[in-house]
Each structure stands twice: as structure tokens, then as C-alpha cells.
Amino acid sequence: MKLATLNDGTRDGQLIVVARDLKSAVVADGIAASLQRALDDWAFIAPQLDTLSRQLNDGKARRTFEFDPRRCMAPLPRAYQWAECSAYLHHVELLRKAEGGEMPASFRRQPPTVQGASDDLLGPTDDIVVANEAWGIDFAAQLAAVTDDVPMGATPDDAYQRIRLLMLANGVSLRHLLQDELVRGCGAFRSRPATAFSPVAVTPDELGEAWQDAKVHLPLRASWNGRLVGQPHVGKDMTFNFAQLIAHAASTRRLRTGTILGTGPVSNKDAKKGYSCIAEKRILETIAEGKPVTAFMAFGDTVRIEMLDADGKSVFGAIDQTVRPTGYVPPAPEVAVEKTE
Amino acid sequence: MKLATLNDGTRDGQLIVVARDLKSAVVADGIAASLQRALDDWAFIAPQLDTLSRQLNDGKARRTFEFDPRRCMAPLPRAYQWAECSAYLHHVELLRKAEGGEMPASFRRQPPTVQGASDDLLGPTDDIVVANEAWGIDFAAQLAAVTDDVPMGATPDDAYQRIRLLMLANGVSLRHLLQDELVRGCGAFRSRPATAFSPVAVTPDELGEAWQDAKVHLPLRASWNGRLVGQPHVGKDMTFNFAQLIAHAASTRRLRTGTILGTGPVSNKDAKKGYSCIAEKRILETIAEGKPVTAFMAFGDTVRIEMLDADGKSVFGAIDQTVRPTGYVPPAPEVAVEKTE
């Protein structure tokens, strides 16, 4: 099934069930008010949502309405945990190489995982608000999994059973601040503003054959200012699958339901597949030409992230964001003034 | 007022108002089911809680019961954000010195802040569960503030107005894993198991004169296996006050209500005041004797963290935890068997 959160003015929004074709939706009000509430009692709630989802897809649901991603918050507008992993190690290898270093060998056993802020997760069309254009604004097109409770020390097989939902994510980072923070040795904090998510979260079964070995076997499209810059295959070159990422995250502590783990920017070894974050493009330029050529994002720039299935249909709906300065006020729409004489 | 969360078997527990002397409490059921719910609508809810608190302290509340910290969860058993700062820079300086390095100059402008996990926050008497005793189990006695919504770019003066509650925290870390993680350059993740909090969260006015300049001017007591090892003065040698810590955390993104920021281990320059984390003791030993002598915590060890006011009364109740291996089962209590003949 496909789930989304409607912006109804509350902090957690209203849980809705969305049709497979993303054209219509129905409020899940009588079942669970919010997605977190559904996750809190998934074994009891999910079958009820599933029934509603079947009715909707069969055209038998009542009080349906047109689905509009612009009315969506993040599926979880605030969550109890968000962490971004680096599931594509050759990307990390490139990055370290460009910095003149080497990737620590431990990365092959333990996927690099960065704790992120989860108090403010953005909806798919929310602006990326940044105070300073010179901070090196970058996107990071990736996949994310939402887990149920995961016990400490869970094996990858255990962890696999705890994957509840998949989403797309845009892990925005401020690359120039990140460099400073890495030198300081405290991890990323200021360099990680709010992360955005796709309009829709889907249960893995929605992916059919494309969900194999805890990986999604479809390309992820990233467009920057309307130009397609990346379409790497998510399942290819993914060093750690979701089961391994979750098991690693739970290696020293349990994870509670609603935990979101991202793969980090999707990246294929084949450079013709393009890039999911500008940093990767700049690394390739640095290796080839000695210095980066492509600039980071500017105010007014847009980024669109979407995944199409084998039939060319959008699975999660699109993340479609614009970079804006703090305090940006959109221009008033032009109003046709009728002249009365 | 003083607030706590009763373990009623639910994920968020039941909000209760606790008497100033920590002896009695009353359920805030008709006002807000959970502390997060109260924070979500603080301007509306807080006055109601305050009225109940006055009734309780005046002996006029109905259906009160004995307050028992062992029945408490963390005031926020799960939160949308937890970050541990390093407000005591001379502690960081010592640490870097022991490692043979120097503290980055930027630390004087920007307090080091580490994003933590907030999906699983422990109650005051919950066990510290660790899989491996050799991971370097350390406590970190500190103060924490809970904020309301804070806009991006808030000044320290703005931030000061957003401080809603104060708590004690035990920021447990696995020091040997932390060393590995710092080398990897991804910040702390595996080295940070669940953080524990005091039974009670208090509004700053409860501290009276001891709340000055966004600092708490009282000593924080830490006892390890029943022996008092630290009683540093929290307000002394604190490089950044809470208003500055919050403003820094909000410098590139807004913070949403219920965000928890910790000071990091409290530390005074006067070494006679003892230590709030074992790492500091080991640093002093390394500087004095060339190597650390004191070992980290072992299974069965206890740590107790408490703050007494000028009259010797506990302000927040005590954090009192025992380190246990994964899967530890407490021995069955001895049952007196009556012989019938």
C-alpha cells in the first residue's frame, strides 16, 4: 500500500491512503490519525490500512479525493530518528581519494552512518531554506527505509523483517560547513539542514519484483533546474542492503518504531549514470581536471527526485524543491483586474 | 512546576505533575496525555499544568499519589531531537591535549554539538544495557534543556525565551568505539547508546536564584558505585550558556518543540571538584602519569546523578542506573517457603 500525510495544519498531519496510480486518496481517519500512530501499533493497524488500500485501488472506497503532492507533508513530518548511511562505498572511496586520503578499511564491515535531525522533516515541495548561498548547498537523492522496533544486536535477517516502509529522500547538506565540521571531529550538525521526503511512503510489496535482497532494483532520477543529471540504478553497486544498514545501526542499541535510515546518495560506478549529489560530480571533476568546475546550488535552483517503475509510472511521487533564502516571500500572483467603467 | 512521565505501558507514558518536594504527584490526564503533547501546545497547556501544580503544592489537589522515581520513564521517553553539546571548553581542551592535538579555534565561537539518537530515551532507573564490557562504558553527568519551537537564525536572546524545561541527563558513551568513529570522520553513532534522564523535568523558575544568565548555579553530584566522584558547579566554567547553545543549534535550521540539548559532561577547572565522566579522570591521569589508570565501567557498576538545591533538597530526583549485559535477567527474589506439615 501507499501512504501519505496531508497537511491539515497540525504538527503530525493527517494519514491518508493513496491509490497505486497516485491519482486519488482517502483519509485513514477512522484507522490511525497519523503515520507514527500507525507504526506504533503496526500489526493491528496495517491490515486495516491494507483493506482500505484495496478498496481504493478497486474503485470501491468512499469519499476519495484527488491526490495532490503539494498538499503533502513528509510521510513522517517529525520522527524519532533519522540517520543517513553511506551504502555506496565506491562513492565514499572517490570522496576520500579526492581529499588525498584513503577510505578506512572498517567501512567495508561497518557502513558509515551519520545521525541526523528528525524534528523537522520537509514535505516533497517544501522550499530548501538556507541563510547563506555560499555554504555549498547540495542535494542527495537517495532511498530511505522506515523500520518497526528493532532489538539491539539484530541480525540482518531479523532486521529485514522490520522494514515497514520505503520512501525517497533528499538529504540536503551544506558542503562548505561540512568540511569545517569534519575537521572539528564532531560529526555533521550545522551542515545538515532539514531533509525532505517523497509525497508517498510505500510498503516494500508495492515494488513487486523490483524489491529483491533488501534492495530496490530501479533507477533513481535526479534533475537539477529541469535537467536530468542522474539516473543511477539503486540496486547496483549498493555495498550494503537495507537489512545490513539496519542491523549495523542496531548493533549497540535498539531502534524504536518509525526510525528512518537513508542509503546516502545513490551512485553507480558507471559515471555515465550521472550523479545524485553535486559533491560527486565535483569529485570526478577534481580527479579528472585537478579542481571542481560545477558550482553548488544557488537561490532559485530546483531539484527534482523521482523513481519510475518498469512501466514508467512514478512509484513515490516526486520530491520537487526550490532553494530559497531565509525570509523569502513569494511574489504575489498576478491578478487580472477587471475594469469597470 | 515539576513534570514527570509515568510508565503506564504505552510508548509515551502518562504525564504527571510532581510536588516540589518530590513526595507526591497527580495525573495530568485531563490536561495533556503526554509531555510532548503539552509541549506541542505549551502556551495553552502550561497555565493549566501550573494551576494543578499550585494545587498540589498547597495540598489541595485531589487523587494524589506517592511519587516513585522507579515508576518513571524519561520525561520525554522518545523525542524528536537530542543533541549533546560541549559547553565546558576546558574539558574539550584537556581531551585534545591528552590526544596530543589542539582544540580548533572555531570551538570558541561555535560550541561542538553532536547529534544524538532520540528514539529511545531511558528512564532514571533503567539499566544501561551494553553487549560488550570492553567497549569503554562511560557516563556523562550533565544538564539538558527542552526547547519550544526555535526559528532558524534565532539570537541567544530569542533562544532564551524558548527554554521550556530543564532536566538532568546521563549521556552514556562507549569510549573505545568513539575513538574508532572519530577516526572514521562520521561523528558518533554506534558509540552513543541510549541516554537517560532524571525522573523530573522542571520549569526554570523552579530553580529560583540558581537560574541566572541561562545557567544553573548549583553543583551536580555524580556517584560511581556509591562513591561521590564529582560535584562540579554547573554554572562555573560553562563557556556557553543554554541560550548560546540553542542559538548555535538553530543557526542553519529551525528546531521544533521538544528538542533536547545537553551541556555535555559538567566540568570545573578546579580538579578537586572531581569528574562528571570517566574520560576526564583518565585524561588527568594521562597528563600527570603518562597513561590512564582508572578503568571504565564494568557490568554491575552503578552511577547516580543528582542535583541538590541550597537547602540540600533534590531538584530533579536522581538518575540511578546499573550497567548490565544484553539479555541480563535479574535473579529471582528469595521466597520464604512456609512449611506445612
pLDDT tens profile A217-270: 999 999 999 999 999 999 999 999 999 999 999 999 999 999 999 999 999 999
A153 occurs within a structural domain: yes
Best of B186, B257, B261 to substitute, by most chain A Cβ atoms within 10 angstroms, is B186
Average pLDDT over residues A286-300: 94
Q: Are A240 and A126 in contact (CB under 8 A)?
A: no
Contact A117 B253 (CB under 8 A): yes
Give the sign of the dihedral formed by CA A282, CA A322, CA A145, CA A177: positive
Q: In this predicted model, what pLDDT tens digit does every residue of B71-123 receive, in sequence order?
A: 999 999 999 999 999 999 998 888 887 777 788 888 888 898 999 999 999 99
| One domain, residues A46 and A80 | no
Reported as a pLDDT band with limits 50, 70 and 90, residue A338 is low
| One domain, residues A104 and A249 | yes
Other beta carbons less than 10 A from residue A210's beta carbon: 17
| One domain, residues A64 and A82 | no
| One domain, residues A66 and A83 | no
* CA atoms of A259 and A239, how far apart (whole Å): 21
State the nearest Cα–Cα gap between A324 and chain B, in angstroms. 13
Give the sign of the dihedral formed by CA A281, CA A283, CA A286, CA A288: negative
Contact B325/A at CB under 8 A = no
Contact A105/B at CB under 8 A = no
DSSP string, B217-237: -SBEEEEETTEEEE--BTTTT
Domain's final residue, options B70, B94, B125: B70
What's the total number of domains in chain B?
2
Taking CA atoms, A172 is separated from A259, A274, B3, B255, B341, in Å, by 19, 18, 36, 16, 76
A82 occurs within a structural domain: yes
Q: In this predicted model, what pLDDT tens digit does every residue of A32-73 receive, in sequence order?
A: 999 999 999 999 999 999 999 999 999 999 999 999 999 999
B336 occurs within a structural domain: no
DSSP state, residue A31: T
**pLDDT at B62 (0 to 100):** 94
**pLDDT at A179 (0 to 100):** 82
B339 occurs within a structural domain: no
Chain A residue numbers touching B104 (CB-CB < 8 A): 183-184
| One domain, residues A17 and A100 | no
- pLDDT of residue A103 exceeding 80: yes
| One domain, residues B243 and B166 | yes
Assigned C-alpha cell, A203:
510498503
B174 occurs within a structural domain: yes
Reported as a pLDDT band with limits 50, 70 and 90, residue B337 is low
| One domain, residues A170 and A208 | yes
Assigned C-alpha cell, B227:
562513591
Chain A residue numbers touching B195 (CB-CB < 8 A): none
**pLDDT at B9 (0 to 100):** 96
Closest CA to A132 of A323, A301, A331, A279: A323
| One domain, residues A21 and A109 | no
Q: Which amino acid is at A314?
A: S
**pLDDT at A240 (0 to 100):** 97
DSSP state, residue B54: H
**pLDDT at A97 (0 to 100):** 79
List, in sequence order, every residue forming a beta bridge with B305; answer none if it has no partner.
B222, B319
B340 occurs within a structural domain: no
- pLDDT of residue A116 exceeding 70: yes
| One domain, residues B96 and B155 | yes
Neighbouring residues of B321: CB distance < 8 A, sequence distance ≥ 6:
B122, B124, B125, B126, B127, B128, B139, B170, B196, B302, B303, B304
Contact B129/A at CB under 8 A = yes
Contact A256 B78 (CB under 8 A): yes
**pLDDT at A107 (0 to 100):** 87
B180 occurs within a structural domain: yes
**pLDDT at A340 (0 to 100):** 55
Percent of chain B with pLDDT over 70: 98
| One domain, residues A95 and A12 | no
- pLDDT of residue B267 exceeding 60: yes
Contact B187 A188 (CB under 8 A): yes
Percent of chain A with pLDDT over 90: 84
Which one of B131, B153, B187 has the shortest CB-CB distance to A186?
A: B187
A259 occurs within a structural domain: yes
| One domain, residues B253 and B316 | yes
Q: Specify the higher pLDDT residue, B288 or A150.
A: A150
User: How many H-runs (helices) and E-runs (strands) does chain A carry?
Assistant: 7, 21
Contact A120 B187 (CB under 8 A): no
Domain's final residue, options B70, B87, B121: B70
The predicted model scores a pTM of 0.96
Which one of B107, B188, B256 has the shortest CB-CB distance to A187?
A: B188
Contact A179/B at CB under 8 A = no
CATH of the domain at A298: 3.90.850.10
Contact B189 A115 (CB under 8 A): yes
Q: In this predicted model, what pLDDT tens digit does every residue of B142-179 receive, in sequence order?
A: 999 999 999 999 999 999 999 999 999 999 999 999 88
Radius of gyration of chain A (CA): 20
Indicate the average pLDDT of chain A. 94
State the nearest Cα–Cα gap between B275 and chain A, in angstroms. 22
Chain B: residue whose CA lies nearest to A78: B80
**pLDDT at B338 (0 to 100):** 61
Does the interface ipTM go beyond 0.90?
Answer: yes
Rounded to the nearest 5 degrees, what angle is found at the Cα of B116, between the Cα atoms of B115 and B118?
130
Q: Which helix (H) or strand (E) holds B39?
A: helix B35-40
* Residue matched to cell numbers 547516580: B304
Q: Specify the higher pLDDT residue, B339 or A328.
A: A328
Q: Can you give the residue range of the structural domain that contains A79?
A: 74-325
| One domain, residues A105 and A206 | yes
Alpha helices in A58-210 (DSSP H): 89-98, 156-160, 175-184
- Distance, C-alpha A335 to centroid of its chain: 36
Average pLDDT over residues B39-66: 97
